[in-house]
A and B are shown apart, each in its own frame.
Chain A
């Protein structure tokens, strides 16, 4: 419903200049110091700004900006709790509590990937293979979310089909990750981070200014709570500046359980067990570097996730005030005083002749909330007289209810065109910096953690470059296929939440236990990972309604129902992490309590500081299976 501009020469030139600058920085990196490891080898310290922004750029992707920003446009500012967790857990706890122990343990054990860290810590090739396989199989889902987010924006900004945008995005990604950009080049990441910072600051300031200031903008949005569409209100939506209704035992609480368990907790906690981020800690020179990275990282994440969540929500107020005009017939008056009504949209098919706009899927009339600005007598196609109302609506009306298109539609409609190009570059930057790490992780999971461990019997050799490259290409192909095939409700945020939740339930207890506990055993870790992964996948396939209905297995078992617990309110909206993470933790504790603890020699290698007798060990030693 919002007009699509086309691609101009200036757009193409700006994008090419940006890509050339990225390539130039990458080339410079090849000639000299390029990765964090090079800094460490040279005994030099990366600037804390470079380190933190590089980490943040890997952390934040188009999924956070387009996907979760769009979800905020649909569900409102309750999503800001994810910002609190992203900073509190993803930066403060990750950097302050987990960063240094991860760095030290990784260096002592000679681990270079997350599965290798777990495998070395628990002296188990099985654990390394398990973790590598899980990453290799499911990371493409997260990569697909990143790719879809970027492609949706490119399609809206440049007026091209989603499929064309996806193809272009995939080609740029392939060109970036396959020849050389796959290994994180810190300066490239940092340049990309600064593009993202500029775009977010401008977006936030512009939006607040367009709506009259911070308090005025929020107040206007608060006063729009009666415009919440009935289907969302039935799930517990109480306005864009209010938490969803909380409770248990009725479907009117489903939204709370979706927002808090899947989006806030799933992603907020899941970030701690993200393989590509854990490895970043090992490339850090010292605890001091980590400490200095905290403030920059916190500020970066505040801007990167706080801005899209606030702007996504406020886009409702902007469209209700400045959005393109819509026409229709009043179905139900919401408030005569404020001129708000539920309106069946109509289109002019001949001069002064109107006909109802029909929903492409249901075939029924499209009924939307509207702030009425004008009323005129009119006639429909059959000559019937009616009062035609003209007005504006919430953002979801202009995107056809598609949350993934909310941020792109807002940027295209509200902001200057030049900013759309800059924002595209920011998204490209966010996608590239994250995807380079994602595909590097997929490659190492296949080459180092699976191929070397399984096909080569665990003997330590050089990683198979061919296997890594093939895995990266396969991962890219999988991600593109998923992006192309699956286009459902807020799929970008959901794919991200699934992957983050799966990682949290499968890895987090074993990872944290391995860092801090001398009593956690190999059997405990393996059992914990198995329980966490199995429960998560079972829940996704058979209980969580939205995912289970898309997978389709549960419908065959139940004869058409979308969840095994379809008749029990709220359970089908609860995210797997709520069940699988505690179960995984309990399994770790119980199994470890009843199995043989690790040998004293191995514990001295892992925790020399606490025993005082530790020494550096040659990587790859000490495995027993």
Chain B
């Protein structure tokens, strides 16, 4: 198949593509499935992170 005789290498070749397609499908299905809320602790964390970055 595909000019490759070893089934394990074919599986790896197609498996890489299959993994990518799984990722594409997942992204499509879950695109808006989760909430997109930013909590206070998220914002506090980000403020501290930004402060550290600025210091540096």
Give A contacts to B, CB under 8 Å: 35, 37-38, 40-41, 43, 45, 76-78, 80-81, 83-84, 87-88, 91-92, 96, 106-108, 110, 112, 182-183, 214-222, 239, 241-243, 282-283, 285-289, 291-299, 301-302, 306, 310, 443, 462-463, 465, 468, 616, 619
Contact = CB atoms under 8 A, between A and B. Distances in A.
Nearest to A215: B3
B34 A619 contact: no
B56 A182 contact: yes
Nearest to A444: B52
B19 A107 contact: no
Contact of B16 (A37, A87, A242): A87
16 contacts: A35-B53, A37-B46, A37-B50, A76-B9, A77-B13, A96-B26, A107-B44, A218-B3, A222-B4, A242-B6, A286-B35, A291-B26, A294-B27, A298-B19, A299-B23, A463-B55
Contact of B49 (A81, A83, A283, A299): A283
Contacts of B5: 222, 241-242
A215 B2 contact: yes
Nearest to B40: A616
Interface string B29-56: 0111111111111111111111011011
B27 A295 contact: yes
A183 B53 contact: yes
Contacts of B26: 92, 96, 291, 294-295
Given A218-B4, A291-B31, A286 B12 contact: no
Given A283-B49, A286-B34, A289-B36, A92 B41 contact: no
A542 B37 CA distance: 51
Contact of A43 (B28, B35, B43): B43
Contact of A291 (B2, B22, B33, B56): B33
Contact of A287 (B35, B46, B55): B35
Given A84-B19, A220-B3, 8 more contacts: A37-B49, A41-B50, A80-B12, A221-B3, A243-B9, A286-B35, A286-B38, A306-B16
Shortest beta-carbon contacts, A-B, top 10: A298-B23, A218-B3, A295-B27, A219-B3, A40-B46, A80-B12, A287-B34, A37-B49, A87-B19, A616-B41
Contacts of A291: 26-27, 30-31, 33-34
Given A242-B5, A285-B36, A291-B33, A41 B24 contact: no
A358 to B, nearest CB: 36
B31 A92 contact: no
B46 A292 contact: no
A107 B16 contact: no
A37 B41 CA distance: 13
Contacts of A218: 2-4
A214 to B, nearest CB: 6
Given A77-B9, A183-B53, A106 B45 contact: yes
B9 A242 contact: yes
A443 B15 contact: no
Nearest to A45: B36
A92 B22 contact: yes
A394 B21 CA distance: 34
B27 to A, nearest CB: 3
B13 to A, nearest CB: 6
